[in-house]
Every structure is written in C-alpha cells, then in structure tokens.
Structure 1
C-alpha cells in the first residue's frame, strides 16, 4: 500500500511538472503577443501623428487661398464675407400641405343630448 502511494505521489509530481511547463510556455507566448501588439499600437500612433501633421500642412489658409485663386475659372470659389451669410428670419420654410379628409364622420341633429339623464 505504501509503495502505491509513493508511485501515485511521483506520478502526481510528474503531472504537475508537465502542467507547469505548459503554462510557462503559454504565458510566455501571451506576453510576446502583448509586446507585439504594443509595438503595433505605437507604430499606429506615430502614423496618426504624421497624418495629422500632413493634414494641418495641407489645410493652411494661405495655401487654400492660393489654390482657390489658381482654380477660380474652374471652381468659382470666393472668399467668405459677412454679407454672404443671411439671418434666420430670412429663411423661407415650406408650408406643409393640407391633407384631404378621406373618411368623414356624419353628424345629425337627432343625437341624444349627453347632458340629460337617459334613465
């Protein structure tokens, strides 16, 4: 009986060692993948900052004004002035159409007076 317990304990130790070995490599793989993801996120942030800087460079007001002047014949773009804007009370909203009555209800003068007690 005692030898059975020793064999069982030895097998349990071997099994636990194998399990710990597998978990160690699984954890290392997860850590490696997380590092790769952090690297990709950092690269994406760098690309985003570069694109924002390019967008700001391309949308400079003096550059856009020069492009509008250069392409005036084709586009007809004019600079914005305060006179170009209207006021809210100048907007004409469409009047909603009056819908036709499709199912009229006929009323007769023979209706019972609801104020009287019917009993």
Structure 2
C-alpha cells in the first residue's frame, strides 16, 4: 500500500511539474505578445506625433495666405481677415423638419392605482 502511495505521489509531482513547465511557456509567450503590442502602440504614437507636427506646419496662416494669393486666379480664394470669423451663437441653424402625426394614440391615466 505504501508503494502505491509513493507511486501516486511521484506521478502527482511529475504531473504538477509538467503543468508548471507548460504554464511557464504560455506565460512567456503572452508576455512577448504584450511587449510586441506595446511596441506597436509606441510606434503608432510616434507616427501620430509626426503627423500632428506636419499638419501644424502645413496649416500655418502665413503659408495658407501665400497659397491663396498665388492661386487667386484659379480658385478665387479671398485672404482670411479677422472680421470673417463669428461666434457660434450667431450661426443660424436650420429648423428640423416637422413630421406630420398621422395616427395619434389617446393616452389617459384614468383607472390608475392611486
């Protein structure tokens, strides 16, 4: 009976060691994937920073003014003036279209529990 217990204990230890070994490799693979995703995010943020800098450089007011002047004969773009801007509350938004009610439903609270 003791030898059976020793064999079962030995097999349990071997099984636990195999499980721990397998889990260790799965964990290492997951950590590697997480590190790769972090590197992709870092690269994407760097690209985004470059794109934002390029956008700011291309939208400089003096550059846009020069482009409007150079292409005035083709595009008829007027140079930007400070008095061309307004406030949001000055914008006249269109009213939403009125939807006709074709089948009205009568609603009443008569008979409700008081």
TM-based fold match above 0.5? yes
1:82 Cα shift?
6.1
Tell me which structure has the larger Cα radius of gyration: 1
1:3 correspondence with 2:3 = yes
1:79 Cα shift?
2.3
Q: Quick one: higher RCO (CA 8 Å, sep 6+), 1 or 2?
A: 2
Which consecutive residues of structure 2, in runs of 5 or more, have no partner in the other structure? Answer: 101-114
TM-score, with normalisation over the residues of structure 2? 0.71
The 1:64–1:80 alpha-carbon spacing in structure 2 relative to 1, beyond 3 Å, is: closer
Residues in 2 aligned to 1:24 and 1:18: alpha-carbon distance in whole angstroms: 10
Residue aligning to 2:56: 56
| 2:62 counterpart SS class | helix
Residues in 2 aligned to 1:85 and 1:28: alpha-carbon distance in whole angstroms: 58
What does 1:1-119 correspond to in 2, within 5 Å?
1-81=1-81
Which consecutive residues of structure 1, in runs of 5 or more, have no partner in the other structure? Answer: 100-119
Residue aligning to 1:115: none
The 1:84–1:46 alpha-carbon spacing in structure 2 relative to 1, beyond 3 Å, is: closer
1:42 Cα shift?
0.7
Residue aligning to 2:106: none
